[in-house]
Amino acid sequence: MMFPLGFALVALAPTVVIAALWAMLLRFRQQPVRPFLARAAWAHVWLFVLHAMFTFPALLGWWGSRALSTRGDEGFYEGPRIASDGAWTLQDSRSLRRERAAPPPVEVVEAARKLAVELPGVDGVLLRAYRVPAIQPQPTATVVLVHGLFRSAMEVEAPARMFRSLGCECWLVEQRTHGRSDRAPATFGWRESQDLVAAVRAIRDEHGASAPLVLFGVSLGTVSVALAAPSLAGLAGVVLDAPIEDPLAAAHRMLSLERGGDRRRFFALWEPWRSLVLASIESWSGFRFADALPSRSLAGMSLSLPVLLIGGELDDKAPREVVRALHDSLPMAPGTKVAWIVAGAGHGDAWKVAPAEYRTQLAAFLARIAR
């Protein structure tokens, strides 16, 4: 609650200064000051309400639609680091900072850049993706991996490396407004899913990927994957890590910042500000959160489609209860659909907490799609 009220106070500063200067001028001219100050005080009461209830959500909604992007520490990511012997060195924020201070050999950077591919989205958007070939002549599957909010393809390097070790060809796709993909209004999975459908078709038709198709998403990427899945013929399987069942409900959870000891609590939004900001995002971006329901999209999928849901015991954005409820709502039989909750894991970090078990789950999933 303090964030919008603090914003409203700051927004009042210019008019308060103007009113104070005018009052000083009136006094200098020996004209009545008190009536002016009374009118100015009431005007600023109404301006405070206006800034808190309209200006604040309008500007924050504009930022959520047009200005969000990959967080700063990932802005220098240029693709996977895969050596000539096939070894894949995972990158993170610290390694990117080290490379900025001491650039790697040119051939290392060039090798990563050679993996980059431009894929078509919709509305003229071009997506950056990184194609990592399988380590065997005939891939087990073609896996398209999609990252989460404020991230880049770097986020999905770890699961991609696991898939690759299991014989898969991997495509690490960066969503619109993220990484090195084109900027366009964010729709939190709605148009992003249409981008993904167009990109996957290009991967198949223009780049010759013919192995069974698997979609992998984490966090916001799970919305894009779930909404895209019904439009992709021949889809062999879906993996959703930290799945978002309803972007609107997830947005409310994120904006409330209900985390004990979190220093960002000042920026938590109470109602009605959460709803006002989210309505503003919809207006700026031209979509409705209600149209982007992964749970509804997945409910219409084939009964034989293997689905793996991965949740974290400590995840507050995609709580384990949400993951289990989403699992229960799927039409597939147990065994075809699997939910795995990782003890001690937070949001989208299950592969860090339990890497060996994570790879085992992916191997079991790939075995199901091969049947």
Domain boundaries, the chain: 2-67, 72-246+293-369
Can you give the pLDDT at residue 260? 54
Which residues neighbour 216 within 8 Å (Cβ) at sequence distance 6 or greater? 143, 144, 145, 146, 156, 159, 163, 225, 238, 239, 240, 241
Tokens of 52: 């808190």
Can you give the pLDDT at residue 86? 87
Mind spelling out the 3-state secondary structure of 259-327?
CCCCHHHHHCCCCCHHHHHHHHHHHHHCCCHHHCCHHHHHHCCCCCCCEEEEEECCCCCCCHHHHHHHH
φ, ψ of residue 182 to 5 degrees: the values are -65, 150
Lowest mean pLDDT among 101-110, 199-208, 318-327, 352-361: 101-110
Can you give the pLDDT at residue 264? 62
Q: How far is the first Cα of the chain from the last one, in angstroms, to the nearest whole number?
A: 53
Tokens of 118: 């431009």
Q: How confident is the model at residue 259 (pLDDT cuts 50, 70, 90)?
A: low
Mean pLDDT of 6-20: 94
Helix, strand, or coil (residue 240): strand
What digits encode the pLDDT tens for the residues 102-130? 888 888 888 888 999 999 999 999 999 99
Helix, strand, or coil (residue 249): helix
Per the CB < 8 A criterion, the answer to whether 369 and 214 are in contact is yes
Q: Determine how β-strand 142-146 pairs with β-strand 88-89.
A: unpaired
Residue 174 pLDDT exceeds 90: yes
27 residue type, one letter: R
33: exposed, middle or buried (Cβ count in 10 Å: 0-12, 13-18, 19+):
middle
Q: What is the CATH number of domain 72-246+293-369?
A: 3.40.50.1820
Per the CB < 8 A criterion, the answer to whether 120 and 199 are in contact is yes
> Which run of H or of E encompasses 104?
none
What digits encode the pLDDT tens for the residues 229-238? 999 999 999 9
78 residue type, one letter: E
Percent of the chain with pLDDT over 70: 97
291 or 127, higher pLDDT:
127
Mind spelling out the 3-state secondary structure of 135-199?
CCCCCCCEEEEECCCCCCHHHHHHHHHHHHHCCCEEEEECCCCCCCCCCCCCCCCHHHHHHHHHH
pTM: 0.93
CA distance 20 to 338: 65
CA distance 92 to 77: 9
Mean pLDDT of 316-325: 95
In angstroms, what is the C-alpha Rg of the chain? Answer: 24
What digits encode the pLDDT tens for the residues 56-88? 999 999 999 999 999 988 988 999 999 888 899
Residue 267 pLDDT exceeds 80: no
Residue in 204, 205, 208, 211 with CA at minimum distance from that of residue 168: 211
φ, ψ of residue 181 to 5 degrees: the values are -75, 165
CA distance 133 to 2: 50
Residue 242 pLDDT exceeds 80: yes
